[in-house]
A and B are shown apart, each in its own frame.
Chain A
């Protein structure tokens, strides 16, 4: 049989298993059917119920407008799948091509897509995380619990972590007229993603809306009362705040532990893959039958020096799902590379914040359009004299312009494209605190001498 015959037979009768039944998994399944895959399709997911959308959970759900159970994703087509929900995957055996479920069952496949995403990083002290009134927000159950707590009219909410999710939750609290304290280790909100200059703008915005913003502090203890209810938080500067609700918004943990013995290049940083979403094994070899998409994928981007980048962005999940699905049912010559410029949005304090590109891949930043004091502007990010990213506050119509600048490696700083030229367009150092996600790496050990024996093993995959 030729490879074309094989491919035709696979598209007709093959077995595809999708591990992770959220946005990326669903969109990939729809794309597989749209590409003419008529074989068996199995969807494995640890949550019960149909795939749902997560961005509304920290916004319109918490305001009380939309019930948490109402964000089920619309479907573009019937995917005619077998759904195995409520049990997470426990292992992947690439010698026999089986996914092992946590309950011991084994699901065979010819090709597998891994889209297991991330989970909320819990509060680091288990007994304190278990206090009544301590929440994370990742699933609809989380969002529903927090919505109920906010509806009960807490005396004060403490948000731990002023990234995008934490800031959005603080915004909802102020919208509901609930007193809120935000605690952030960095010097300002959003600094880890967008740098110090935008962080200052975000801090102004929070304080203008009545947030008690405390930066440069670390929460050391969540204190409960005799009934096990949260009543107070302690900070490393000795101060405290009384609160009956705390939201732990310290980012996510990628769901890769189940791949520990799979031989894939998987770890806390995600699962490495090529631009075609094919997973790499620990030796850096591309696999033929294992694909990755969504938050858990760590994909090289040629625009950013081919560095491997993981993105927890909605549109990244959608685009990688399309590319992975296409490549799962296509021959080598017809494969697509995923070459998008990343896009992200956040809605907080009445402002639409959007970004294009990778703001952490920058050494300088400059306001190139609009007015910072009006909270209506675009800031451009540059790396070694070329544009690598842009962030807009209520100026989304211009982001496509900046996307083209990034794609064409346009010189930084770019000229202002509109008459609303900012007073000060001078670039300043971008000043990110600490290591960024781009710098995260793996520790491995190489063994063997002959080319046929050389192998990589992972030394610190899951610290």
Chain B
């Protein structure tokens, strides 16, 4: 018998702090798998953000710089410009990327920085206890939207993958989900595409991964997983929004 499924080399063999059913672990594995596949682990510099994603360096066996909340794309810009031969990616949550860090993500994307951004959208601030995020769905109850997100007062959830696809500097933008084997296999394919853009020096690539947060959604893991494929994917449509190689 041969081993047909094993842990990626770039992913440390340690227990994570993520809650049961949280999709961060799956996304970590897919990103490190792509890293192994392109053989970039040794020249990778990851940029960690603030939120549940901050412990990137605890799980990825790569060099890591920790950025202030929302500033990962600016930090990654400095890293990549100073070390153009390195493989640079950021790993950010929705509060980090789509609220406090909107200026940094939009301008790094618009400059066409040769980096890859992994954006984990779970419609809430996980680390701080489930507050309303820029991606919280209309009507969704959170600890700071106890009556449900009100579109008239709070606005509608931001669709980052579509928004960034509009910018000239963006080479690749896709939204994936990891709630089923089929979606996971597709997510893996898209992450590899995003990586290839950087490996080939073709510019900014962006992956938005829909993710479950069972704890802060007040659901069990299976129900939360189900919500990703139904309610979330209904609003945040899966797909590739920009793929310059096909243009």
Does chain A bind chain B?
no
